[in-house]
Amino acid sequence: MQWWHEARFGMFIHWGLYSVLGRHEWVMENEGIPVADYEQLAKRFQPKPNAARAWPSLPNKPVRNIWC
């Protein structure tokens, strides 16, 4: 982990129910969405099988900055 921090490159992808809303992972907390309403997002969350395998190839730049 120390090497990773010192190397200063990488890609961190957040992905979950909040992606249905097109917002960040703290959307439920920050916008005060009730648990019952947030749970309903699971019905609309339909990720493609193995979609995450393609993500590392998305950035075309030789140096990938850490975006959080």
For the chain, the domains span 2-57
For residue 18, count other CB atoms closer than 10 A to its CB. Answer: 19
Q: How far apart are CA 14 and CA 25, in angstroms?
A: 7
Tens of pLDDT, residues 5-21:
777 666 677 778 998 99
| CA 65 to centroid of chain Cα atoms | 15
pTM exceeding the 0.85 threshold for the entire prediction: no
Q: Which pLDDT value is given to residue 13?
A: 72
Q: Which two tokens stand for residue 35?
A: 């648990």
Separation CA 36–CA 42 (nearest Å)? 11
- Read off the pLDDT of each residue in 35-45 and give the average, rounded to a whole number: 94
Residue 9: the pLDDT is 65
- CA separation for the pair 17, 6 (Å, rounded): 32
Instruction: Report residue 42's pLDDT band, with 50, 70 and 90 as the boundaries.
Output: very high
